[in-house]
Amino acid sequence: MRNTLIHGLAAALLLAAPLAWGQSAAVQDNIPKQALDATAAPTTLADLSKDQPVTAKHAMVVSAQHLATEVGVDILKRGGNAVDAAVAVGYALAVVHPCCGNIGGGGFMLIHLAHGKDVFLDFREKAPLKAGPTIFQDDKGNVVPGKSTGTYLGVGVPGTVMGMDEALRKYGHLSRQQVIAPAIRLAKQGFVLQQGDVNILGERTKDFQKYPNVGAIFLKDGQPYRVGDRLVQPQLAKTLEEISKDGTKAFYHGDIARRVVAASEANGGLLTMKDFADYTVKWDTPIKCGYRGYTVVSDPPPSSGGVTVCQILKLLEPYPLKDWGYGSARALHFTIEAERRAFADRNNYLGDPAFVKNPIDVLLSDKHIDQLRSTIDPDKATPSTQIKGSLGATEGMDTTSYAVVDKHGNAVSVTYTINYLFGVGQIAGDTGFFLNNEMDDFTSKPGVPNTFGLVQGKANQVEGGKRPLSSMSPSIVLKDGKLFMVTGSPGGSTIITTVMQSITNVIDYGMNMQQAVNAPRMHHQWYPDAVIYEPGLFTDAVKKELEGMGYKFKQVQSWGADEAILRSPKTGLLEGANDRRRPSGLAAGY
């Protein structure tokens, strides 16, 4: 497997000159910079060939911020299991990675237990009970730009605190006080900012300057922080102390909820105390599918991630990607066409299962997959106008991901989000945490693109108490029932293809875990009908060939941040890989 990658990289290097690190990249028109972090420098195939993962014998933690990873490893060394560490990392990221780590948003946790059981926890945000299908439209039915992303109408009921509490209660060994203590310490004492931290904070300087309570914390004398500065968050420390003491009671029934509701009411939002009191999390059965002898375990609706990742992989399984080679025109052509068809189904048929029937069995059936595959022309691109949701008429990031494996073989993959970098960009009073703008993940109006350009249908329309459809895809790959890989990424709609490519990079192209997450990416989501890609993936010859087949391209410097762990079948060691796109992140173990 390793030789496949080396030969593929060597061939590509003969055709492609190294990319300059300062090379500019055109940003995709329909994704604003606040929503998709593109601050990482591109890579080259020469650099990729030298990438090596961190290895450990017993346990591993990988996250987008080094201090959060260190918190997780310490919890594991002190006798905590993978769930204890995952909860501790989740709270730590809320402090040291505030763009994306959160207690003001929600997400998904996928757990593989060492004895073989797989479980999924949904702590996705819910729409306020007063919300309805037209809340982001004017009186003429037109979607109002920014209403779902920059106002309190975009804020859903946060789920992270209840999700972490529930996971810890059911599968953890340590107390809530033990796992939150490191986050409280980091908030009180502060932490020294590295270049990666400063890069992300700088993305929303102008927004921080609009709100005095935000600027007082996340700006230094009204200006952006610099490398070496210390970020202290005493208000967040107080909020975390309240949660540490009283758990969900403090967050959903106490003064924290009252302050968020008061801010919402004062700013035209819809949140009420009843919304907080009625919030629930849900345990569910993961989505599973086979791929080349492996079992992919991922998340069910209200995530579209598991279904769509599995659809893409099932569509690709008959094709000899390994023989065609990484970055080849033929492998890219069939991968893009698989993505195009899977996203058409995703955008038309999936939604919160409490509100709509998700035809998962049909979408993943061999008959349906074969029918989709039969429409792929081997020699040219299929225009998205010719691809419809294929079951007939429908009935009426930024994000962060992290992975933990403990010494017992338990594994946890978590992806949680506040949507944009720093969510709605606002903090309710002195609570200290950013609120999400997750309502933008709903269909503001059928046929009208959301922030990530997704054109969705009625199944995902806004309804009170409903969870918005998500692209989050925390995933675990098993081989003969045993842990093989843990993977997940931020990046809005690009999460699905990032996770899918991390899997195929290992299984098909023989990459080690570090190469798999660092490799340049591409993405197609049905509409807009264009392939977005990172520098370093296409040689000039391959791009020209694909353009001749009818493809259109948009270059984006970078997206996503796959944080992944692989159990090496050769050595038995854990390979931890922090994505190069999060330079402040860390893979560490023991």
Contacts of 140 (CB under 8 A, 6+ apart): none
Query: Regarding predicted confidence, which is higher, 53 or 421?
Result: 53
Residues 51-58 have a mean pLDDT of: 98
User: Cis link prior to 302 (omega < 30° from 0)?
Assistant: yes
Rounded distance, CA 307 to CA 300, Å?
Answer: 7
Q: Percent of the chain beyond pLDDT 70?
A: 90
pLDDT tens per residue across span 371-428: 999 999 999 999 999 987 644 433 324 689 999 999 999 999 999 999 889 999 999 9
Rounded distance, CA 204 to CA 200, Å?
Answer: 8
Residues 346-375 have a mean pLDDT of: 94
Predicted local confidence at residue 251, as pLDDT: 98
pTM, to two decimals: 0.91
Rounded distance, CA 572 to CA 114, Å?
Answer: 15
Most distant CA pair in the chain, distance: 63
Torsion angle of alpha carbons 503, 505, 511, 516, nearest 10°?
A: -80
pLDDT band (50, 70, 90) for residue 33: low
Using alpha carbons, select from 465, 427, 431 the residue that is nearest to residue 275. 465
pLDDT tens per residue across span 523-570: 999 989 999 999 999 999 999 999 999 999 999 989 999 999 999 999
Q: What average pLDDT is seen over the chain?
A: 90
Residues 127-150 have a mean pLDDT of: 93
Rounded distance, CA 567 to CA 576, Å?
Answer: 9
Q: Of 53-57, 135-139, 327-331, give the lowest mean pLDDT range.
A: 135-139
pLDDT band (50, 70, 90) for residue 5: very low
Contacts of 535 (CB under 8 A, 6+ apart): 19, 23, 25, 42, 43, 520, 555, 557
pLDDT band (50, 70, 90) for residue 96: very high
Predicted local confidence at residue 41, as pLDDT: 80
**CB atoms closer than 10 angstroms to residue 304:** 31
**CB atoms closer than 10 angstroms to residue 541:** 12
pLDDT tens per residue across span 314-327: 999 999 999 999 99
Question: Residues 69, 335, 399, 497: which is the catalytic one?
Answer: 399
Judge whether residue 3 has pLDDT over 70.
no
Structure tokens, 427: 């903090």
Catalytic residue status for 400 = no
Find the helix or strand (DSSP H, E) in which 295 lies.
strand 294-298
| Apex 257 CA angle, 256 and 261, nearest 5 | 120
Judge whether residue 117 has pLDDT over 50.
yes
Find the helix or strand (DSSP H, E) in which 89 lies.
helix 82-96
Q: Of 55-59, 342-346, 403-407, give the lowest mean pLDDT range.
A: 342-346
pLDDT band (50, 70, 90) for residue 40: confident
Judge whether residue 20 has pLDDT over 50.
no
Find the helix or strand (DSSP H, E) in which 284 lies.
strand 282-284
| 545-554 long-range Cβ contacts below 8 angstroms, 24+ apart | 545/329, 546/329, 546/332, 546/333, 546/381, 549/329, 549/333, 549/379, 549/380, 549/381, 550/380, 550/381, 550/383, 551/336, 551/381, 554/26, 554/28, 554/29, 554/530
Predicted local confidence at residue 388, as pLDDT: 77
Predicted local confidence at residue 455, as pLDDT: 60
Predicted local confidence at residue 47, as pLDDT: 87
DSSP string, 374-426: HT--TTSPPPGGG---TTSSPP---EEEEEEE-TTS-EEEEEEE-SSTTTTS-
Task: Compute φ and ψ for 416, nearest 5 degrees.
Answer: -140, 165
Find the helix or strand (DSSP H, E) in which 522 lies.
strand 522-523
pLDDT tens per residue across span 433-463: 999 999 998 888 876 766 556 566 678 889 9
> Can you give 425-488 as a three-state secondary structure string?
CCECCCCCCECCCHHHHCECCCCCCCCCCCCCCHHHECCCCCCCCECCCCEEEEECCEEEEEEC
Single-letter amino acid code for the residue at 93: L
Structure tokens, 58: 């017993």
Predicted local confidence at residue 32, as pLDDT: 57
Find the helix or strand (DSSP H, E) in which 297 lies.
strand 294-298
Strands 553-555 and 531-533 come out as parallel
Find the helix or strand (DSSP H, E) in which 251 lies.
helix 248-252
Predicted local confidence at residue 191, as pLDDT: 98
Residue 426 — left, alpha, or beta (φ > 0 → left; ψ -120 to 50 → alpha)? beta
Using alpha carbons, select from 184, 182, 161, 181 the residue that is nearest to residue 237. 184
Predicted local confidence at residue 444, as pLDDT: 82
pLDDT tens per residue across span 237-288: 999 999 999 999 999 999 999 999 999 999 999 999 999 999 999 999 999 9
Decide: 326 and 509 in contact? Cβ < 8 Å: yes
Residues 83-94 have a mean pLDDT of: 98
Predicted local confidence at residue 491, as pLDDT: 87
